[in-house]
Amino acid sequence: MRPRADADRILAFAQELGRAGGRPTWLYLTGGATAVLEGWRETTIDIHIRLEPEPDELLRTISQLKESIGINVEFASPADLIPELPEWRERSRPVTRERHLEVLHFDYYSEALAKLERAFDQDLKAVREMAARGRPPKP
């Protein structure tokens, strides 16, 4: 079993993935990765991502990085649980950029609605934390 991912490991994953890409790509972080980078939690078991597009070289690199960095990566996003909200990409907040890879937090509105739809205790706690910290920001 791989160790839990902290902010340094999540950012190292993004940095290494960015070095491998050769064309514009967007990496959307969601779930525990967002919670860790926003400071709501110290670590996460795995990071959930959405990659657009999904170039073969990055998919291979993700597989390699799972082993070399020792991080669990799951392809999952709010769009897997609820219909995509209009303009979710425009509301996704930037995290970092590494060469051709733009790393963003998946739209917080989508994140909150997906968590409410699933309604696990941890999801409801995360939505309360998001609201307490002003995420998503008020329109």
pTM above 0.85, yes or no: yes
Q: Is residue 30 part of a domain?
A: yes
Average the pLDDT over 99-103 and give the result: 96
Average the pLDDT over 18-39 and give the result: 93
Q: What is the mean pLDDT of the chain?
A: 92
Average the pLDDT over 114-127 and give the result: 89
Nearest-angstrom CA–CA distance, 35 and 6 = 10
Domain count, the chain: 1
Q: Is residue 2 part of a domain?
A: no
pLDDT at residue 123 in the model: 84
Q: Is residue 47 part of a domain?
A: yes
pLDDT band (50, 70, 90) for residue 2: confident
Backbone angles phi, psi at 2, to 5 degrees: -80, 150
3-state secondary structure the chain: CCCCECHHHHHHHHHHHHHHCCCCEEEEEECHHHHHHCCCCCCECEEEEEEECCCHHHHHHHHHHHHHHHCEEEECCHHHCCCCCCCHHHHCEEEEEECCEEEEECCHHHHHHHHHHHCCHHHHHHHHHHHHCCCCCCC
pLDDT at residue 77 in the model: 96
Nearest-angstrom CA–CA distance, 30 and 35 = 8
pLDDT at residue 138 in the model: 54
Average the pLDDT over 80-106 and give the result: 96
Q: Is residue 97 part of a domain?
A: yes
Residue 26, domain extent: 7-107
Percent of all residues in the chain with a pLDDT value above 90, rounded to a whole number: 79
Bridge partner residues of 39 (DSSP): none
Average the pLDDT over 26-33 and give the result: 96
Nearest-angstrom CA–CA distance, 134 and 106 = 15
pLDDT band (50, 70, 90) for residue 136: low
